[in-house]
Amino acid sequence: MADGFAKFISLDMSVSDPAGGQSLRGFALKMVFISISLSIVVSLAVICIGNALRILPLPVLDAVFYSVAMGWIVGGLVAGILCTVLGRAIRDLRESQAEFERLSKTDTLSGLANRRAFNQVFEDITGDASLAIFDLDRFKSINDNFGHGAGDMVIKRVASAIEDVFGDFHCVARLGGEEFGVIVCGGDRKDRVALIELARVRVACLSVNFEGHLLQTTVSVGVAEIEANRSKHDTFAIADKALYSAKAAGRNRLCHGDAYHARSEIDSGLARPLQAAS
């Protein structure tokens, strides 16, 4: 019974996880209840002391009645004001915390998820998904010839083009620099690869107008299947190796790492680019 009462009057509240604590309304009601109860208890204690010393200015029952009434009025009013102010502060804190959490997982330049958010999603994927790594071709020449402002604009436009293809259902992130990562979920392997190829083509068709100059770029893409019996480290390594093969084969193409990864375990270990998965 004592534990139940202690839990009832508990003012513990989770700011980061509202579901893990009590609501603001419950918190406010408990605050008012506790404030009024303490006010009445203190008043009754003062009445008992005053009655014992025979200094009460009015009869005991009248004093008790007035103390209870004033406890409800004054205690409730003060507690209500404090709860209102505190509730607004907690609500603002929750909103700020949620915004901070969102920003901590967002790449500021592209608006996509950042590497931290990508890694969290990647670790939770168990199957029926493909990992694709996009890397802009000859991006350094854009920065060297037109400046970093042009490079930033190209990254923004490429990020928007890739995101338009995959939408919100798949995880699209900027991994750093001119490299993007996509986790394509669901469907058949050939459908996932076709969607990745569509994103590659969409980027190749982009024209970015920067200070009167039309800038164009392409991407090379390395793909690997996410499988339950394969570690995330190995999956990323296979996709990264496929990306290298796409670069070596002339850029602006998609290479699926699983095709040559399986063969490399049999023969010489040479990676062979694949234009489209079967």
The tens digit of pLDDT for each residue in 78-96 reads 777 777 777 777 777 777 7
**134 with 242, same domain?**
yes
Domain boundary among 42, 73, 104: 104
Q: Is 250 left (phi over 0), alpha (psi -120 to 50) or beta?
A: left
Residue 151 vs residue 65, higher pLDDT: 151
Question: On the CB side of 53, how many CA atoms lie within 13 Å of its CA?
Answer: 9
Domain boundary among 70, 104, 138: 104
- pLDDT category at 160 given cuts 50, 70, 90 is very high
Residue 276 forms part of a structural domain: no
The pLDDT mean for the chain works out to 81
178 annotated active-site: yes
Listing DSSP states for 106-175 in one string gives: B-TTT-SB-HHHHHHHHHH--SSEEEEEEEETTHHHHHHHH-HHHHHHHHHHHHHHHHHHHTTTSEEEEE
pLDDT at 102 over 60: yes
Residue 277 forms part of a structural domain: no
Structure tokens at 99: 């915004």
Structure tokens at 175: 């991994």
Residue 128: predicted pLDDT: 85
**230 with 195, same domain?**
yes
Residue 88: predicted pLDDT: 79
pLDDT at 56 over 70: yes
Residue 60 vs residue 152, higher pLDDT: 152
pLDDT at 53 over 90: no
The residue from 178, 179, 225, 227 that is catalytic is 178
Domains in the chain, number: 2
How far is 21 from 32, CA to CA, in rounded Å?
18
pLDDT at 11 over 70: no
One-letter amino acid at 170 equals H
**Domain interval for residue 76:** 2-104
**76 with 133, same domain?**
no
Mean of pLDDT values over 147-169 = 95
Residue 40: predicted pLDDT: 78
pLDDT at 277 over 50: no
> What CATH number did the domain enclosing 217 receive?
3.30.70.270
**160 with 188, same domain?**
yes
The tens digit of pLDDT for each residue in 237-268 reads 999 999 999 999 999 999 998 765 444 443 43
Residue 82: predicted pLDDT: 72
How far is 111 from 131, CA to CA, in rounded Å?
20
Q: Which run of H or E residues covers position 213?
A: strand 213-215
